[in-house]
Amino acid sequence: MISVVIPAFNAGRFIRRTIDSILGQTYRDYEIIVVDDGSSDDTAELVKSYGAKVRYIYQENAGDGPARNTGIQAAKGEWIAFLDHDDEWLPEKLELQMELLSRNSDLLWCATNFYRQSGTRKAVAVNPTDVRKSLVNNDYFENFFTATYRNGCNFMSTTMIVHRELFEEVGFFDSCWLRGADVDMWCRIAYHFPRIGCLAEPLAVLHIEAQDAISTRLGLQAKRGEEARKLIAKHLELAGEHGQLDSFKPYAKQFLRKSLITSIYRGFKADSRMIVKQFPEFFPWYWRIFTYIFTMFPRVTSNILQGVAYVRYLLGLDRQISRRWIYSRAAKYEDK
């Protein structure tokens, strides 16, 4: 059996769509657990209206990580699948993942490709043809880290199925992260079980326009780069302890460079400079010079970059769909 864990906070606008996408699965051996993380809207009423089809658990507000932990501890299934309260699955998602896992009895976790959707715009996260070429007729990647930095895979919580044995091995989600608890978890799992199953087909939909004030604020805080620095510093140590440093370093470099670019894009001067200062091995001298130049007038740089990005968006040149417009409307520059 699969235990589907949904952390929910003020999810009244979306929770029916999310639950209905599970009830519409072609794979039928599952339970649904909704962990209400201190909602103040009609989340409880809507979830309870499903009766015995859904297990409802309430806890005081603690964040997505602790809510997922509550769901894992309450789960009866051998496998744990995660689904965010504002996302949905396509009907064959669980069936295709379980078929893959059945073909490969040594695999203990599996992810799928997915769509990002904002209003009427919808785009696949990674070209399925590219993923299939990278898999080379296999059902899995040998190493989570290399699959991410070399093959461009994006392993999202909403696409994951994880054997409960893995949580017994590595522990639960850490509540100290604003937005990085899932990244921290996948890295910790990868040190012990680097091989991960992957389906090239997009089988989930991330509705990126679904944002509330709290998640937007947390997202903006995470964009500063401080959390990225702490996370990578922690895992450089852990990767070394587990003999995974060679595979983790390229992943860390890619992760930090994306964080730096995002921090500059948002106009965070001090945070951008701190990233290149703390990790000189990942940023050659020219990266450090460019960072200093681009953050001399962070507000001007950010306005120009966001203006260019918005024009590309209007002209249809930017085929990727991201949360940047949501964050742009709420962003507050801190020119330090």
CATH of the domain at 72: 3.90.550.10
The winner for highest mean pLDDT among 67-71, 205-209, 217-221 is 67-71
How large is the average pLDDT for residues 227-247?
Answer: 96
Helix ranges (H only) for the chain are 15-23, 43-48, 64-74, 93-103, 128-135, 144-149, 164-170, 181-192, 213-223, 226-241, 245-266, 269-278, 285-294, 298-314, 324-330
Based on the domain organization, do 147 and 70 belong to the same domain? yes
pLDDT at residue 59 in the model: 96
What is the C-alpha separation between 79 and 263, in angstroms, rounded? 37
Banded model confidence at residue 313, pLDDT cuts 50, 70, 90: confident
Mean pLDDT computed over every residue of the chain: 90
Based on the domain organization, do 186 and 246 belong to the same domain? no
Q: Which of 210, 233, 258 is the last residue of a domain?
A: 210
Based on the domain organization, do 185 and 60 belong to the same domain? yes
pLDDT at residue 12 in the model: 94
For 98, which DSSP code? H
Of all residues in the chain, the percent with pLDDT exceeding 70 is: 90
188 in any annotated domain? yes
319 in any annotated domain? yes
- Phi/psi of residue 54, each to 5°? -135, 135
289 in any annotated domain? yes
Based on the domain organization, do 294 and 165 belong to the same domain? no
Of all residues in the chain, the percent with pLDDT exceeding 90 is: 77
- Other CB atoms closer than 10 Å to residue 159's CB: what's the count? 26
Based on the domain organization, do 198 and 237 belong to the same domain? no
Query: What does the pLDDT look like over 114-155, one tens digit per residue?
Result: 999 887 888 899 999 999 999 998 999 999 999 998 887 889
336 in any annotated domain? no
Based on the domain organization, do 300 and 236 belong to the same domain? yes
310 in any annotated domain? yes
- The residue type of 50 is Y
For 86, which DSSP code? T
Based on the domain organization, do 189 and 317 belong to the same domain? no
What is the C-alpha separation between 102 and 78, in angstroms, rounded? 13
- Which residues contact residue 312 at a Cβ distance below 8 angstroms, ignoring those fewer than 6 apart? 318
Structural domain containing residue 154: 2-210
Write the DSSP string, 172-195. S--TT-SS-HHHHHHHHHHHH---
Based on the domain organization, do 219 and 191 belong to the same domain? no
Based on the domain organization, do 238 and 302 belong to the same domain? yes
- The residue type of 162 is V
- Phi/psi of residue 284, each to 5°? -60, 170
Query: What does the pLDDT look like over 169-200, one tens digit per residue?
Result: 999 999 888 778 999 999 999 999 999 999 99
Say how far residue 184 (Cα) sits from the centre of its chain: 10
Question: Would you say residue 87 has pLDDT above 60?
Answer: yes
pLDDT at residue 319 in the model: 65
Quote the number of domains for the chain.
2
Q: Of 5-9, 273-277, 301-305, where does mean pLDDT reach its minimum?
A: 301-305
Predicted TM-score (pTM) above 0.75? yes
Report how far apart, in Å, the C-alpha atoms of 89 and of each of 29, 82, 83, 93, 225 are.
16, 11, 8, 6, 31
Report how far apart, in Å, the C-alpha atoms of 215 and of each of 9, 68, 209, 221, 284 are.
10, 16, 11, 10, 34
Question: Would you say residue 331 has pLDDT above 50?
Answer: no
What is the C-alpha separation between 113 and 203, in angstroms, rounded? 6
Question: Would you say residue 335 has pLDDT above 60?
Answer: no
335 in any annotated domain? no
306 in any annotated domain? yes
Residue 219, class by beta-carbon neighbours within 10 Å (0-12 exposed, 13-18 middle, 19+ buried)?
Answer: middle
Banded model confidence at residue 217, pLDDT cuts 50, 70, 90: low
How large is the average pLDDT for residues 151-170?
Answer: 93
89 in any annotated domain? yes
Based on the domain organization, do 141 and 167 belong to the same domain? yes
Based on the domain organization, do 169 and 307 belong to the same domain? no
Q: Which of 164, 194, 210 is the last residue of a domain?
A: 210
Q: Which of 179, 210, 241 is the last residue of a domain?
A: 210
Based on the domain organization, do 11 and 156 belong to the same domain? yes
